[in-house]
């Protein structure tokens, strides 16, 4: 089943996504899903999310972020690539 395949997504969130608790909220949301990866602020004002997991879990996780933080998000760029398996958990990257 396609929802069970492992995926990796790199997602850039644009808008007023720094200084609003975006990373901590993303970390809290991640605890509700079987995903691994990182979230970090970028120097250009964006937030970068790298997430790996089963396609259905990743899709639901990202939807939850957009639902809870959507008022701060002006744009989203998504790149999908093969998972690396390098993440053991989900954490904020500083």
pLDDT tens-digit map of 9-50 = 999 999 999 999 999 999 999 999 999 999 999 999 999 999
pLDDT digits (tens, 9 = 90+) for 59-82: 999 999 999 999 999 999 999 999
Q: Which sign, positive or negative, has the C-alpha torsion 79, 68, 3, 85? A: positive
Residues in the chain: 94
Please confirm, yes or no, whether 41 is among the known catalytic residues.
Answer: yes
Of 5, 8, 16, 23, which one is the catalytic site residue?
A: 23
Of 5, 14, 41, 59, which one is the catalytic site residue?
A: 41
Inter-axis angle of helices 55-69 and 22-30, nearest 10? 140
User: Going edge to edge, which strands form the sheet with 6-15?
Assistant: 73-81, 6-15, 47-54, 35-41, 90-92
**Phi-psi domain of 83 (left: phi exceeds 0; alpha: psi -120 through 50; beta: other):** beta
| pTM for the full predicted model | 0.96
Tokens found for residue 26: 């993303």
Helix and strand element counts for the chain (H, E): 2, 5
């Amino acid at each position: 089943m396609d929802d069970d395949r492992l995926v990796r997504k790199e997602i850039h969130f644009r808008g007023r996504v720094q200084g609003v608790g975006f990373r901590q909220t993303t970390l809290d949301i991640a605890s509700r899903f079987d995903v691994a990866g990182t979230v970090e602020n970028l120097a250009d004002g964006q937030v970068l999310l790298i997430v790996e997991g089963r396609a259905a879990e990743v899709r639901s996780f990202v939807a939850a972020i957009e639902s809870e933080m959507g008022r701060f998000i002006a744009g989203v760029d998504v790149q999908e690539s093969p998972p690396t398996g390098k993440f053991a958990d989900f954490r904020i990257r500083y």
